[in-house]
């Protein structure tokens, strides 16, 4: 019996991350391979607490809209709730997919993993 993700986009993303052979992307890939029930779910309040203006953050899971984001940062995640997207936009920050972050920063320099 096959274990692990069954979402086609998620499987493609995990394979793409593993091909990059950078420690940060390998870590994100291993976190995304976990079962959905224990995958990371992060509220904006936690992101706000552990970041400063200008940070680039990756969440290997889902970002939820609980809390307030008071900084201008770039957040990459596999999924965002609708309220999280709205609050991120209101704060002047940007919500992007992990694939977009890989294209911008294939080396993974200066990227924080939160979760």
Find the helix or strand (DSSP H, E) in which 98 lies. helix 98-104
Tens-digit pLDDT profile for residues 13-66: 999 999 998 999 999 999 999 888 888 999 999 999 999 999 999 999 999 999
- How far apart, in whole angstroms, are the C-alpha atoms of residue 66 and residue 88? 11
pLDDT at 38: 87
pLDDT category, 2, cuts 50, 70, 90? Answer: low
pLDDT at 1: 54
Q: How wide is the angle at C-alpha 91 spanned by C-alphas 84 and 46, nearest 5°?
A: 55
Tell the residue number behind the tokens 């924080």, with chain if given: 112
Task: Give the SS3 label for residue 11.
Answer: helix
Tens-digit pLDDT profile for residues 89-102: 999 999 999 999 99
pTM of the shown model: 0.91
Q: 8-113: what fold?
A: Ribosomal Protein L15; Chain: K; domain 2 (3.100.10)
pLDDT category, 5, cuts 50, 70, 90? Answer: confident
pLDDT at 8: 87
Cβ-proximal residues to 65 (8 Å cutoff; 6+ apart), any chain: 43, 44, 81, 82, 83, 84, 85, 86, 87
């Amino acid at each position: 019996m096959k274990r692990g993700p069954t979402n086609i986009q998620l499987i493609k993303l995990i394979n793409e991350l593993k091909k990059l052979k950078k420690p940060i992307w390998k870590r994100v890939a291993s976190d995304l391979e976990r079962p959905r029930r224990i995958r990371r779910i992060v509220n904006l309040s936690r992101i706000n607490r552990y970041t400063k203006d200008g940070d680039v953050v990756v969440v290997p899971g889902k970002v939820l809209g609980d809390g307030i984001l008071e900084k201008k940062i770039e957040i990459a995640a596999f999924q965002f709730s609708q309220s999280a997207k709205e609050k991120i936009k209101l704060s002047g920050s940007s919500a992007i997919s992990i694939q977009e972050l890989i294209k911008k920063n294939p080396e993974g320099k200066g990227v924080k993993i939160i979760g």
